[in-house]
């Protein structure tokens, strides 16, 4: 067993572009994660963020022109870790969540894996 491979980690994925969402889901599955839930719009994501069991979330910052803040707020209130995926850089992150990890789009599987591992490790240490 290698420590970098997750064991049954579940991911909640929010991305409005269906093709990107499918590509990221494939990357996550290739890395050994399962997809707990997927959403392509904010209202659906809020409901899933409240009801779904997951280990970590990956959140597109801008979902159909709406900022992801309400979804991030629900996840933060549940004390679950999350990573932003953004093409806007850290300045595009919601101000109240600028301290959270962010992956610059487009990203490679290795970057995704490293960011998840660092984020989960940081959560476990906290």
Interval 66-88: pLDDT, tens: 999 999 999 999 999 999 999 88
For range 116-125, the mean pLDDT: 82
CA dihedral 112, 116, 119, 123 (to 10 degrees): 170
- When mean pLDDT is compared across 54-58, 68-72, 85-89, 122-126, the lowest value belongs to 122-126
Domain assignment present for 62: yes
Q: What share of the chain has pLDDT > 70, as a percent?
A: 90
C-alpha span between 66 and 46 (Å, rounded): 13
Instruction: Give domain status of residue 63, yes or no.
Output: yes
Mean pLDDT over the full length of the chain: 91
- Please give the pLDDT value at position 34: 97
Q: Is residue 46 part of a domain?
A: yes
pLDDT at residue 124, as a whole number: 58
Picking from 86, 96, 92, 17, the residue whose alpha carbon sits closest to that of residue 58 is 86
Q: Would you say residue 18 lies in a domain?
A: yes
- The answer to whether the bond into 106 is cis (omega within 30° of 0) is yes
What is the total count of domains within the chain? 1
Q: Is residue 1 part of a domain?
A: no
**CATH at 92:** 3.40.50.2300
Q: Domain range spanning residue 86?
A: 10-125
Residue 33, domain member (yes or no) = yes
């Amino acid at each position: 067993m290698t420590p970098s491979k997750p064991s049954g980690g579940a991911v909640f994925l929010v991305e409005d572009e269906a093709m990107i969402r499918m590509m990221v889901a494939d990357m996550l599955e290739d890395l050994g994660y399962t997809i707990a839930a997927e959403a392509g719009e904010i209202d659906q994501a809020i409901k899933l963020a409240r009801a779904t069991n997951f280990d970590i979330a990956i959140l597109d910052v801008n979902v159909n022109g709406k900022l992801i803040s309400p979804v991030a707020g629900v996840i933060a209130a549940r004390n679950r870790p999350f990573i932003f995926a953004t093409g806007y850089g850290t300045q595009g992150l919601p101000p109240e969540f600028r301290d959270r990890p962010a992956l610059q789009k487009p990203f490679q599987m290795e970057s995704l894996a490293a960011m998840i591992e660092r984020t989960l490790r940081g959560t476990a240490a906290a």
